[in-house]
Amino acid sequence: MKRRAFIKNCSVSALTVCGTTTALLGCSDPAQARQKTGLVVPRNDAGELVVSKSAFAGQSTLLLAHPALLFPILLLRSDEENYVASLMSCTHQKCKIEVAKGQIICPCHGARFSLQGELLRGPAQRDLASYATRVADDTVLITLE
């Protein structure tokens, strides 16, 4: 085998092992892994996520998790009555995205979104998936379907 072909084969093998390891670790305990990604919130009888306004504790954003979700939800408080809930999954190739420096950034290929979930920079082509929200007393309710 020539040197170039050997190096190419080794690279492919290393990526395969790495990807398989990541997939296996990621699937080992999905519920536990998800719960580490945000504040775990309950659902009410109507299936809405129930978030206490006090959970914001002076912050304008809150990362939420629920066992029914594959990705966290970023809940942004615009004001006391208006909230935006965005799924933290990149619309390019579904990488988990992160909040950094006042934006939502995809670590995979660099897409950027505003905290409201609007696309700012590709390669993604769409805004983030969002969920309807409503306020009831001291809680914010998020409709998942």
Q: Which residues bind ligand FES (CB under 6 A)?
A: 90, 92-93, 95, 106, 108-111, 123-124
- Nearest distance in Å: CB 91, ligand FES: 8
Closest approach, Cβ 61 to ligand FES, in A, equals 19
Q: Which is nearer to ligand FES, 49 or 87 (CB)?
A: 87
CA angle, 50 then 130 then 142, to 5°: 15
Count CB atoms within 10 A of the CB of residue 82: 11
Distance of alpha carbon 62 from the chain centroid: 12
Minimum distance, C-beta of residue 94 to ligand FES, in the bound complex (Å): 6
Site of tokens 């309710």: 141
Nearer to ligand FES, 47 or 107 (CB): 107
Closer to ligand FES by Cβ: residue 35 or 116: 116
Taking CA atoms, 137 is separated from 9, 16, 63, 133, 141, in Å, by: 60, 51, 21, 13, 10
Nearer CB in complex with ligand FES: 94/134: 94
Give the contacts of 129 (CB within 8 A, at least 6 positions apart).
86, 87, 89, 91, 117
| Rounded CA separation 143/130 (Å) | 10
Q: How far is the CB of 57 from ligand FES (least distance, A)?
A: 30
Task: Tell me how far, at minimum, the Cβ of 99 lies from ligand FES, in Å.
Answer: 14
Of the two residues 32 and 125, which places its CB atom closer to ligand FES in the complex? 125
